[in-house]
Structure 1
Amino acid sequence: MNLFRSTAVVLALTTGFLALPAMAEQTNQSGDPTYTLEAPPAWAMLGDLIIARPLLIATTIIGAGAFVISLPFTAAGGNIGEAGKALVVDPGKEAFVRCLGCTESGYKQKQPE
């Protein structure tokens, strides 16, 4: 392949991959307007309950152990807060604060219709 074709292919693939998140925000996966982030489908809730939550809880426990082991090194580096947030708080927040089947964590109030 010559240089022009290679460059054109790389630019086309890059543009396509960069457009995917924008397209995903405009429509949901099922195409049904009923299934939004605030009202996920039953299969997403079931998968979250059976697969994702136990893995996230295990990740939180393993992260807490890794945080304790790395504590002398993070204390010497002065980034205890960042290590605790990355290893313990973020997985714990995803495991315990996120609604069942939702993709974003945190409490949100529903807007009145």
Structure 2
Amino acid sequence: MNGFLKRLVVLLTALSLVAVPCMTCFAQDLAQDKDVIAGKMAGDALIVRPLGICATVIGGALFIVSLPFSALGGNTKPAYDYLLADPFNFTFNRPLGEF
């Protein structure tokens, strides 16, 4: 039974190594499909952008709360970049459907 299990694991590993390049070729063809691009755009507009707006608002609030501490530490610019500018740019300054 132990030898059978080892052979099964080796066989499944070999099959998965053969299947991965085939799946990546299929995924590249699928990425060029207009329906998939439209789905990505719709998902971005309906789900990701509203979440980005929430992240921008929450990051802005956290930035305001942490502003006295970051000013004392001399790292106001990195705090601004990570908490407010990055979520804002992700939400408003990128093409629809590109993540």
TM-score band w.r.t. shorter chain: 0.5 to 0.7
Query: Would you say 1:49 and 2:81 are equivalent positions?
Result: no
**Alignment match, 1:94:** 90
Counterpart for residue 31 of structure 1: 28
Identity, % of aligned positions:
41
TM-score normalised by structure 2 residue count = 0.67
Highest Rg: 1 or 2?
A: 2
4+ residue runs over 4 A deviation:
none
> SS where residue 96 of structure 2 aligns?
coil
The TM-score normalised by the length of structure 1 is 0.59
**Structure 1 unaligned regions, length at least 5:** 1-22, 104-113
* Offset, 1:32: 1.9
Amino acid at match of 1:66: L
Aligned-residue CA RMSD (Å): 2.4
Return the letter of the residue paired with 2:51. L
Given the superposition, is the C-alpha separation of residues 33 and 43 from structure 1 closer, same or farther in structure 2, using an over 3 Å criterion?
A: closer
What stretches of structure 2 of length at least 5 have no aligned partner? 1-20
Look up the equivalent residue of 1:47 and give its one-letter code: G
